[in-house]
Amino acid sequence: MRRLHPALLGELIGLRVRVVNATHPGYIGIEGTVVDETKNLLVVETSEGIKKLPKPDIVVEFELPNGERICVDGAEITVRPHERTRKLWRKVYARSGRG
């Protein structure tokens, strides 16, 4: 896995998201708030209801709480949420000399 933006190594639920590219043209332009996540899916609440988006097939733009927008290939975040978080903790502890 390529080094991700630090914000993406934590929780994605609650972030605003917009699909900017996809293997299926029907996914492009979907936007809303991430309400759930699995290894292979982002579940997004949109103005039209809940949409389940396959991570490996999409490129998304996340809006971070500070207003920064970052573009991410969904294939890069196709891991279980707790595994992504665990990788962040390993890096934090390795840098601080703890653990």
pLDDT of residue 35: 98
Q: How far is 99 from 87, CA to CA, in rounded Å?
A: 13
Q: In this prediction, what percent of the chain has a pLDDT beyond 90?
A: 64
**Residue 76 is part of a domain; what is its CATH number?**
2.30.30.210
- Phi and psi (nearest 5°) for 77? -115, 20
Assessment of whether the complete model's pTM goes beyond 0.95: no
Q: How far is 74 from 55, CA to CA, in rounded Å?
A: 4
Does any domain span residue 19?
A: yes
Does any domain span residue 28?
A: yes
Does any domain span residue 1?
A: no
3-state helix, strand, coil in the chain (%, to 5): 30, 35, 30
Total domain count, the chain: 1
Does any domain span residue 35?
A: yes
Residue 70's domain comprises: 6-96
Q: Which residue has the higher pLDDT, 91 or 50?
A: 50
Average confidence score pLDDT of the chain? 87
